[in-house]
Amino acid sequence: MTGTVFCPKDYNCIVVLGPTAVGKTSLAVRLALETDSHIISADSRQVYRGLDIGSGKDLCEYTVDGKSVPYHLIDITDLSKEYSVFDYQQDFYRVFESLNEKGIVPVVAGGTGMYLDSVVRGYGLVPVPENPELRRKLGSYTLEELDAMLLELRPELHTRASLADRDRTMRAIEIETYMKEHGETGKEKPEVIPLIIGTSLPRESLKHNISVRLRERLDNGMIDEVRGLHDNGASWQRLENLGLEYKFVSDYLQGKIKSDDELFDLLNLAIGQFAKRQETWFRGMEKKGALIHWLPSIPDKELKAAAALNIIKAYIKR
């Protein structure tokens, strides 16, 4: 594949999406190596510096046989900033246009559905100011109640697939409320023509991967990572609002979860539920018109990579 020429009329980026623990990063790196490309991350927690083990950055995966793949939108902010979908969209467009100008067709990889959808379907977002009064009101709501409110404001977002992040959900409500009053922006956006490749696994294989990966993260210092973030100034509430690993480990460190075994069991279950919500989101994207080329639902990474490359070849002129 190296040295092939992409045809802009067909697409100008490759998107690799799927639920957690299916090997998106390794697949995206393989595709980027084969096409002399760069990766643009679409992960709502990997944007933050210091969220390494719990967010699964695994930056070592971006180097294969001594060759490194350039990556973007990882480690670009810190926890003092509330990074929003609007921030992601603007940062994505900046990197995307820069790469396209150089003739590079980026590989977008991640599982944050709202981030992916915002660039695939080109959400009309505006730089919305914070609304302290609304924030105080929303602060007493559960995540499920916030999801329901956001779904009512904008049903097509399929918010039942939210990423268990109170801050982002509250921000989304803030944005939707503002836009209902002021209208969406007419600012011109770059045209994103994505070739979307979806990857998943059979349910039992996915559950196994989630459990194995969680055990590895716990053994490799995830608890110490969360403790260090708190010691360096991140409040428990801020960490809890990040969801999943950061929420449950924060609860454990505060004594709300009583044992290592209970932490593992609760977090393992929550990640499995999260994977189902991600899959629901991607089905929602398809219902809204996104064409996703799903790879065979098999564990074999080499066969999946070969299948993905065959899909790409159909859109390349030699």
CA dist 30 and 62 (Å) reads 9
DSSP string, 244-264: HHHHHHHHHHTTSS--HHHHH
CATH superfamily to which 5-202+281-317 belongs: P-loop containing nucleotide triphosphate hydrolases (3.40.50.300)
User: What pLDDT does 184 receive?
Assistant: 59
**Segments in the chain forming alpha helices (H):** 24-34, 85-101, 113-120, 132-138, 143-153, 166-182, 203-219, 222-231, 236-241, 244-253, 260-287, 301-313
DSSP string, 97-155: HHHHHTT---EEEE--HHHHHHHHTT-----PPP-HHHHHHHTTS-HHHHHHHHHHH-G
Per-residue pLDDT of 274-302, as tens digits, reads 999 999 999 999 998 999 999 999 999 99
User: What pLDDT does 174 receive?
Assistant: 87
Phi and psi at 141, nearest 5°, equal: -85, 150
- Sorted by sequence, the CB contacts under 8 Å of residue 11 that are 6+ apart come out as 105, 193, 194, 195, 315
Phi and psi at 75, nearest 5°, equal: 60, 50
Per-residue pLDDT of 33-58, as tens digits, reads 999 999 999 999 999 999 999 999 99
Q: What mean pLDDT is predicted for residues 244-260?
A: 98
Per-residue pLDDT of 97-132, as tens digits, reads 999 999 999 999 999 999 999 999 888 777 778 898
Residue 213 structure tokens = 């990966």
Burial of 120 (0-12, 13-18, 19+ CB in 10 A): buried
- Give the start-to-end residue ranges of the domains of the chain: 5-202+281-317
CA dist 242 and 274 (Å) reads 13
CA dist 95 and 253 (Å) reads 38
Per-residue pLDDT of 61-91, as tens digits, reads 999 999 999 999 999 999 999 898 889 999 9
pTM of the entire predicted model: 0.82
Per-residue pLDDT of 205-218, as tens digits, reads 999 999 999 999 99
Give the pLDDT band (50/70/90) at residue 4: very low
